[in-house]
């Protein structure tokens, strides 16, 4: 139970980073470019979430509900890469698997999703929250 509390506490910090507009860049030399790409990806995916084209999955990652433009797919991929990096760091700190951290994150992200947005259950079906 103690370890689970640490994971959840660590996730709260990480999710604030992931969901905030100012995400940390993965490549230091390209700080400004990386920050701009992350902000653009977040803006595009936020709009897609509102329209129902993208939703939160139970595994902690974003998913495309129906077909997506290459730009939208790239934005979803960018967000998922950043999420996986955060999950990996937390998993290593807590000595658990990435999938455990990702699943806990998915649960939290789905819980925070506003009504009307698409969410994917652990069974793999899309529903509107």
3-state secondary structure of 114: coil
pLDDT, averaged across the chain: 78
* Non-local CB neighbours of 63 within 8 Å, separated by 6+ positions: 54, 55, 56, 57, 76, 120, 126
Domain locations along the chain: 2-128
Contact 120, 107 (CB under 8 A): no
Q: What is the pLDDT, as a whole number, of residue 57? A: 96
Q: How many CA atoms lie within 13 A of 108 on its CB side?
A: 18
Distance CA 18, CA 46 (A): 13
83 forms beta bridges with none
Confidence band for 35, pLDDT divided at 50, 70 and 90: low
pTM beyond cutoff 0.85: no
Q: Which range, 9-13, 38-42, 68-72, 88-92, is most confident?
A: 88-92
Q: What is the pLDDT, as a whole number, of residue 66? A: 85
Report pLDDT digits (tens) over 78-128. Answer: 999 999 999 999 999 999 999 999 999 999 999 999 999 999 987 889 999
108, 113, 115, 118: CA torsion to nearest 10: -110
Nearest C-alpha neighbor of 14 from the set 75, 79, 78, 89: 89
């Amino acid at each position: 139970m103690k370890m689970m509390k640490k994971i959840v506490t660590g996730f709260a910090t990480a999710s604030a980073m992931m969901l905030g507009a100012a995400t940390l860049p993965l490549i230091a030399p390209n700080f400004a470019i990386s920050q701009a790409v992350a902000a653009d990806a977040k803006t595009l995916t936020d709009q897609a979430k509102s329209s129902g084209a993208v939703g939160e999955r139970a595994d902690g990652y974003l998913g495309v509900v129906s077909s997506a433009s290459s730009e939208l797919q790239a934005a979803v991929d960018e967000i998922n890469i950043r999420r996986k990096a955060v999950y990996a760091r937390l998993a290593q700190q807590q000595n658990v698997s990435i999938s455990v951290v990702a699943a806990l994150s998915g649960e939290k992200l789905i819980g925070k999703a506003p009504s009307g947005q698409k969410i994917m259950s652990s069974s793999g079906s899309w529903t509107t929250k």
